[in-house]
Amino acid sequence: MNRTAVTPRRPLTVTAALALAFGSLGALGCGSDSEEEAREQAEQIQEDVRQAVQEAQQGSQKQIERAEEKAQQAQEEIDEALEDAQEEAEDGSGTPSY
């Protein structure tokens, strides 16, 4: 079973976006004559970060739901196989052929 398929990749993207956003926040005041412009840029960066975090959470939730569905399907297949094996054992037709 490939466990890395369940691991969300979006948190890495969000981390990178946050690093860029905070780096941009530090440079906002440099060379800018307008406090209003700097404030607007900071607000845009905050909105971009909020949006990236929300998208990452949605992506992670979808991956979790897919993993749960696959686990449920696997459990159903296991239960069915166990029932079949038990029926074969009760009927005596479950003798292994070597």
Q: What is the mean pLDDT of residues 4-29?
A: 60
- The Cα–Cα gap between 18 and 49 comes to 6
Q: Is 71 inside a domain boundary?
A: yes
Q: Is 2 inside a domain boundary?
A: no
Residue of 1, 14, 12, 7 lying closest to 63 (CA atoms): 7
Q: Is 96 inside a domain boundary?
A: no
Q: Is 37 inside a domain boundary?
A: yes
Counted domains in the chain: 1
Q: Is 26 inside a domain boundary?
A: yes
Predicted local confidence at residue 3, as pLDDT: 47
Q: Which two tokens stand for residue 28?
A: 């906002």
- Residue 2 pLDDT level (bands cut at 50, 70, 90): very low
Cβ count near 14 (within 10 Å): 19
Residue 91 has pLDDT above 50, yes or no: yes
pLDDT digits (tens, 9 = 90+) for 18-37: 666 666 555 555 555 688 88
Q: Is 20 inside a domain boundary?
A: yes
Q: Is 76 inside a domain boundary?
A: yes
pLDDT digits (tens, 9 = 90+) for 36-78: 888 899 899 999 998 988 888 888 889 999 999 999 999 999 9
Predicted local confidence at residue 29, as pLDDT: 52
Q: Is 94 inside a domain boundary?
A: no
Domain boundaries, position 59: 8-89
